């Protein structure tokens, strides 16, 4: 499997200078889009500096990245590498602005994609974007670093209010204003046939929705897609510079069948995780982050996953196979693909109330409590959403337990939680 990239940048209909820059390197499997901060001096210099610094750093780290490609990829290490690369670019812009009054205050956004074996890693700052087209569906992978989006994540704006908000284009992060920047990273499994779109906000302003975008990205000739998207944005108004890069993951002949197997298996994992009430409706990007914090464990018939009374602080989600749930030595039910156990231990560890035994060859996604909390501490708004869902489920479970007690013994005097309020 190898990536092939195509790109185009255009000044648009209203700007005199194109402050966007992009970079395509199929050999190093590196793709970058940077957008100079609008209304600031030397935006074109900032974006060009960022692209040059990132491409140079990837070249200097060639041996380090080659070793990763030849081994079992450590997602944390790969994320750390690209964060350092983008942070270096930020420092380069800052220093150039500090030492040359002509460039004072310059900055830019940046989104990069680096493909490493069967993984791709995104590094992202600002409101340039990364989309993934897979199996006919387009998903936004990056999250805009704008004040309006930050307000939305804090629960102060509804998602449909973001685009037209007065702070929709006010960046909350950029390369250059400070010597260092917080970089979003995400490591993803990639599959033959995947297509990625990297683009500046001069295009995203005119994207109708992700269903529309999926149709545009799915054209038979990948090479002409950037040209078609740039032309569309210009026709729709072209109020800003427009840049579009399309990267297609093309299979090598021996990998085609393997790619299909990988695709099915990866989809099973996403389906299993997305079926848990905690994660229903989450975006592909967030499910990917969760999946990156999970272990995928295999079991054969008779294997004990956990025994009654053992310490438990993990969520267990069945990907495939079956597990017998037993209490005090008696079978009490089964877990099938998509079923889960242990969700409440994400709040607090407790003793397992049952034994879980594999009935056949089976696989579980295991999300342990510490990695879960590590993830939501990095994204408090996600933690709030997940904990709200968990609280609602616990409340429903409590109501069911109270109802069952009353049905079993109508004379039981149970004070319901809501009656205490």
- Buried/exposed code over 222-257 (b: 16+ C-beta within 10 A; e: otherwise): beebbbbbbebbbeeebbbbbbbbbbbbebeeebee
pLDDT digits (tens, 9 = 90+) for 232-248: 999 999 999 999 999 99
- pLDDT-above-90 percentage for the chain: 63
Among residues 382, 54, 47, the alpha carbon closest in space to that of 201 is found at 47
Quickly state the pLDDT bin for 389 (edges 50, 70, 90): confident
Within 8 A by CB and 6+ apart from 100, the residues are: none
User: CATH 3.60.40.10 residue ranges in the chain?
Assistant: 2-250
pLDDT at 409: 67
Quickly state the pLDDT bin for 257 (edges 50, 70, 90): low
pLDDT at 419: 33
The architecture that CATH gives domain 262-373 is Sandwich (2.60)
pLDDT at 39: 59
Pair 250, 195: CB distance under 8 Å: no
CATH for 2-250, among 3.20.20.80, 3.40.309.10, 3.30.1460.30, 3.60.40.10? 3.60.40.10
CA distances (Å), 409 to each of 266, 398, 399, in order?
Answer: 47, 17, 15
pLDDT at 379: 84
Q: Is the dihedral of CA 270, 274, 278, 281 positive or negative?
A: positive
- pLDDT-above-70 percentage for the chain: 94
Q: CA 345 to CA 343: how far, in whole Å?
A: 5
pLDDT at 417: 36
Better-scored residue on pLDDT, 403 or 227: 227
User: CATH 2.60.120.10 residue ranges in the chain?
Assistant: 262-373
pLDDT at 131: 97
Q: Is the dihedral of CA 74, 75, 76, 77 positive or negative?
A: positive
pLDDT at 412: 54
Better-scored residue on pLDDT, 31 or 68: 31
């Amino acid at each position: 499997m190898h990536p092939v990239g195509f790109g185009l940048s255009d000044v648009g209909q209203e700007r005199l200078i194109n402050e966007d820059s992009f970079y395509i390197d199929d050999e190093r499997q590196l793709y970058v889009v940077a957008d100079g901060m609008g209304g600031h001096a030397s935006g074109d210099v900032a974006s060009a500096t960022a692209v040059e610094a990132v491409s140079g750093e990837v070249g200097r780290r060639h041996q380090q990245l080659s070793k990763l490609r030849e081994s079992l990829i450590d997602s944390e290490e790969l994320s750390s590498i690209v964060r350092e690369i983008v942070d270096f670019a930020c420092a380069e812009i800052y220093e150039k602005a500090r030492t040359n009054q002509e460039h004072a205050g310059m900055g830019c956004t940046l989104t990069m994609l680096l493909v490493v074996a069967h993984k791709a890693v995104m590094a992202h700052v600002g409101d340039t974007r990364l989309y993934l087209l897979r199996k006919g569906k387009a998903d936004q992978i990056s999250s805009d670093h704008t004040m309006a989006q930050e307000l939305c994540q804090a629960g102060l704006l509804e998602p449909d209010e973001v685009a037209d908000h007065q702070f929709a284009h006010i960046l909350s992060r950029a390369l250059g204003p400070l010597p260092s920047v917080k970089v979003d990273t995400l490591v993803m499994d990639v599959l033959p046939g995947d297509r990625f779109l990297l683009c500046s906000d001069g295009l995203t302003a005119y994207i109708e929705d992700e269903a529309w975008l999926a149709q545009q990205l799915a054209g038979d000739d990948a090479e002409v897609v950037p040209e078609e998207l740039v032309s569309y944005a210009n026709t729709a108004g072209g109020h800003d510079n427009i840049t579009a890069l399309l990267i297609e993951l093309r299979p090598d002949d021996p990998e085609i069948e393997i790619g299909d197997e990988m695709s099915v298996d990866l989809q099973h994992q996403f389906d299993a995780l997305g079926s848990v009430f905690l994660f229903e409706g989450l975006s592909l990007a967030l499910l990917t982050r969760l999946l990156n914090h999970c272990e995928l464990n295999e079991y054969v018939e008779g294997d004990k996953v956990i025994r009654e009374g053992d310490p438990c602080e993990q969520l267990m989600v069945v990907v495939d196979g079956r597990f017998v749930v037993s209490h005090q030595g008696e079978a009490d039910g089964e877990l099938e693909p998509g079923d889960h156990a242990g969700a409440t231990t994400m709040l607090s560890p407790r003793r397992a109330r049952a034994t879980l035994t594999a009935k056949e060859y089976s696989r579980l996604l295991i999300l342990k409590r510490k990695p879960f909390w590590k993830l939501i501490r990095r994204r408090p708004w996600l933690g709030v959403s997940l904990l709200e869902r968990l609280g609602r489920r616990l409340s429903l479970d409590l109501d069911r337990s109270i109802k069952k007690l009353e049905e079993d013994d109508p004379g039981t005097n149970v004070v319901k939680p809501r009656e205490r309020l």
